[in-house]
Amino acid sequence: MITPDRTVTTTCPFCGVGCKLNLHLKGEQIYAVTSPADAVVNHGNLCVKGRFGWDYVYHRKRITTPLIRREAQAPGARKQAFDRSAWREASWDEALDLIADRLTAQFRAHGPDALAAFACAKATNEDNYLLQKLFRSIFRINNIDHCTRLCHAGSVVALQQAMGSSAMSNTASEVIHNDVFIVTGSNTAETHPIIAIQMKAAIRKHGAKLIVIDPRRVEMVDYATLWLPLRPGTDVPLYSAIAHVIVRDGLTNPDFIAARTEGYEAYAASLAPFTPEYAESVCGVDRRLIVEAAHLYAKAQNAAIYWALGIPEHTHGTDNASSLIHLAFLTGHIGRRGTGLNPLRGQNNVQGASDCGAMPWHYPGYQAVDDERNARFFEEAWGIEPGGLDRRRGLSTTEIVGAIGKGGPGHGPVRALYVMGENPMMSEPNLNHTRHQLEQIEFLVCQDLFMTETAAFADVFLPAATFAEKNGTFTNTDRRVQRVRQAIAPRGQARADWEIVCDLARRVCARLGLPDTAWQFEHPGQVMVEIARVIPDYAGVRYERLEGEGLQTPVADTAHPGTPFLFEGRFPRGRGKFRPLEYRPAAEPTDADFPFILTTGRVLEHWHGGSITRHSRLDELFPEPLMEMHPDDAVRVGVGDGQPVRVASRRGAISLKAKVTTKTTPGVVFIPFHFHEAAANVLTLDAVDPMAKIPEYKACAVRVEPLAEEAKPSRRGRR
């Protein structure tokens, strides 16, 4: 039996919970992962991903040397699916010089609009800060975004509009102080399992009452006092009906409304049509359950709302999140411990990447790019001439893909794209369209661990280090900034993302005749010092202060202890803003040809596009895609449990096996989005929320047809 000789403490690289990990090592090999019982976030608990999902670090398919496509020297080289013979190994100098040459050539020939970048919620704060700084300060373009656009963008916009802040208001572990809490649009037991453990403890040990509002019978329903199984896409009428009952039955908190909100009268008047009877007709939820939920939430001493992607991933996702915010404003369940509005972030550092400016409309710290004062501040901070930064809002992820070759709103065509750790060929909606666009791009760089579906179209591949091979910080869903510590040397020639970005920036500066003094970092701790100078909420964050349990932002200065919950005295925008809402149905209704509503999501064993978990032993636990269908629907279309089926939408079709289960509701089918061989996003549509620009992943129309038993999924898996 091998005995590890050292332990390195770091932060889990998977979901937004941010569990503390102890990596037990001998030499350069991780042998086991545990967590200390006194860890403030997870108290020694780990899910299957955190405890066993680290072996992707050593996977045989990991790319550990730079690669250049053989025909990449020719501008506009033809793209093709991944074929190792089409690539050759290169030195870092050759690969980075080629990228610098091609990006600067596009910049000189076509201007800033020709360039765009995807940052990465799996990467550190320092990685993301530097990538957005490169494109903004050197290439003078705001075309940079990351996966928050595809997950919580609707929540971010709604919270910013209503309060001036876009993060969770409270700490997840405060659920034990809830009398009542709502979980909606979240399969918490599978997507945030450690938070689900805390929720179950709140119910079992502390007497909290849970209301689950979800189209699927997720595990948390087993612990709920009430389950409201709404039809996908009908969130606004349901939550507006709950608000209607709160107002109608005199359950509001008038002192809170008067002291801390604005727009109440107009909002209250707008609730008149949203009666429980109307909501029942639209949502399919019994009117009595709506009334009971309203009374239970409003009468609680401390109540909170937790939600995930089932709320924002709609063409009305911003309205969905606003309808939840209104409930907290009506009742005063905000600004105290054990209350709050809590969007559960999906990826390990989606909160931090957003904080650090990896978005097209905001500089670091959510400072609007089209505000002159903000632009001047960052010009001074980054040593740029007055007027040098772009004052236009950049393009979002879906807009960047759409702008390849033809331009986007207020911007010219995107000709070169830099992708750090993202995989739009799995994560974008309407993947056939995405494939067509990537085939047209003139120059594509991918910086990643594996040859992903997107990287297969790249001209240059840069091998990045994993979480275990670099230093940095992640910011979890609680706003807690925590250390990521290097435990082993990078495999092969892989390098930390922040190092790659700095090296590239220095080469671009040389070609453009710019000084490179802003890119002379020797350690990510130095990058954090710069982050602290430009993001007020990070002003007091320093590596030496993160040695224990990290710090929850806002951290006002180097003596500040951090902030467990927000809005105790005021909202950042002053008063909380009510906003009247209207019901807008899903963009694509069902009909006779496409009679089922498809909703997508995650499973416990996998994570997002699967580029990490499907290169680990976790793939053996859930090795193939499955479509969940209610037994009543299965009988109607002649599908048996485990039978291959073809699922088609107006955009494409995939084949996979059916799982007949009461976990879903009649008329709704569910497909996880982790499996490239039956990619759910071939089916989803690219209609977006007009305010947040987030696609509608949670509701599109499909049909299901049985296939012969010998039929296989569309493509083979990775392993």
Domains of the chain: 6-58 (2.20.25.90), 67-133+348-378+385-552 (3.40.50.740), 153-343 (3.40.228.10), 596-706 (2.40.40.20)
Instruction: Report the distance separating Cα 465 and Cα 257, nearest Å.
Output: 50
Closest CA to 190 of 13, 51, 15: 15
- For 480-519, write each residue's pLDDT tens digit: 999 999 999 999 999 999 999 999 999 999 999 999 999 9
Average per-residue pLDDT in the chain?
A: 94
Distance CA 566, CA 543 (A): 23
Give the tokens for residue 20.
């503390």
**Contact criterion met (CB below 8 Å) for 89 and 65:** yes
Q: Is the confidence at residue 658, as pLDDT, over 90? A: yes
What is the value of pTM for the model shown?
Answer: 0.95
Residue 79 has pLDDT above 60, yes or no: no
- Residue 442 burial (10 A CB sphere; 0-12, 13-18, 19+): buried
Query: Is the per-residue pLDDT at 718 higher than 90?
Result: no
For 294-304, write each residue's pLDDT tens digit.
Answer: 999 999 999 99
Report how far residue 370's alpha carbon sits from residue 126's, in angstroms, rounded to the nearest whole number: 24
pLDDT of 709 above 90 = no
Confidence of residue 712 (pLDDT cuts 50, 70, 90): low
CB atoms closer than 10 angstroms to residue 207:
9
pLDDT given for residue 151 in this prediction: 80
Q: What mean pLDDT is predicted for residues 246-274?
A: 98
pLDDT tens for 109-125 read 999 999 999 999 999 99
Check residue 81 and give its pLDDT.
Answer: 54
| pLDDT over 60 at 169, yes or no | yes
Question: How many helices, marked H, and strands, marked E, lie in the chain?
Answer: 21, 28
Q: Where are the beta strands (DSSP E) in 265-374?
A: 303-307, 340-343, 362-363, 367-368
Whole-angstrom CA distances from 618 to 84, 372, 648 are 26, 49, 28
CA dist 437 and 405 (Å) reads 8
Q: Which residues pair with 227 in a beta bridge?
A: 212
Q: Report the length, in residues, of the chain.
A: 719
C-alpha distance from residue 398 to each of 158, 456, 651 (Å): 19, 19, 16
What CA–CA distances, in Å, run from 21 to 33, 44, 45, 53, 352? 6, 9, 10, 12, 19
Beta carbons within 10 angstroms of residue 142's beta carbon = 27
CB neighbourhood size of 221 (10 A): 17
The answer, yes or no, to whether residue 607 has pLDDT greater than 90, is: no
Provide the pLDDT confidence category of residue 76 given band limits of 50, 70 and 90: very low
| Confidence band for 100, pLDDT divided at 50, 70 and 90 | very high
Which stretch of 261-270, 355-364, 510-519, 688-697 has the lowest confidence by average pLDDT? 688-697
> Which range, 69-73, 80-84, 140-144, has the best average confidence (pLDDT)?
140-144
For residue 588, give both structure tokens.
């694509």
pLDDT above 90: percentage of residues in the chain: 92
CA distances from 268 to 231, 253, 257, 573, 703 (A): 25, 13, 11, 21, 40
Q: Tell me the mean pLDDT in the region 63-78.
A: 73
* Distance spanning both ends of the chain, measured CA to CA: 28
Strand partners, 445: 418, 460
Extended beta strands in 176-299, E state: 180-184, 209-213, 226-228, 261-262
Q: Is 656 helix (H, G, I), strand (E, B) or coil?
A: strand
Per residue in 190-210, pLDDT (tens digit) is 999 999 999 999 999 999 999
77 neighbors 71 (Cβ within 8 angstroms):
yes
- Cα–Cα dist 345/353, whole Å: 11
Rounded to whole angstroms, the Cα distance separating 468 from 490 reads 8
Q: What is the pLDDT of residues 526-541, one digit of tens each?
A: 999 999 999 999 999 9
**Does the pLDDT of residue 77 top 70, yes or no?**
no
Condensed to tens digits (0 to 9), the pLDDT of residues 683-704 reads 999 999 999 999 999 999 999 9
Indicate the pLDDT class of residue 149, thresholds 50, 70 and 90.
confident
How far, CA to CA in Å, does 395 sit from each of 74, 212, 405, 641, 687?
Answer: 27, 35, 14, 43, 15
Report how far apart, in Å, the C-alpha atoms of 586 and of each of 282, 579, 687 are.
12, 20, 10
- Summarised one tens digit per residue, pLDDT across range 453-474 is 999 999 999 999 999 999 999 9
CA-to-CA distance for 339 and 596, rounded, in angstroms? Answer: 37
Kindly tell me if the per-residue pLDDT of 400 is higher than 90: yes
Whether the pLDDT of residue 609 is over 90: the answer is no
- pLDDT for residue 711: 53
Q: Residues 6 or more apart from 516 whose CB is under 8 A from it?
A: 505, 506, 509, 510
Q: CA-to-CA distance for 358 and 123, rounded, in angstroms?
A: 11
Category of 628 on φ-ψ map: left (φ > 0), alpha (ψ -120 to 50) or beta: beta
According to DSSP, residue 365 is labeled T
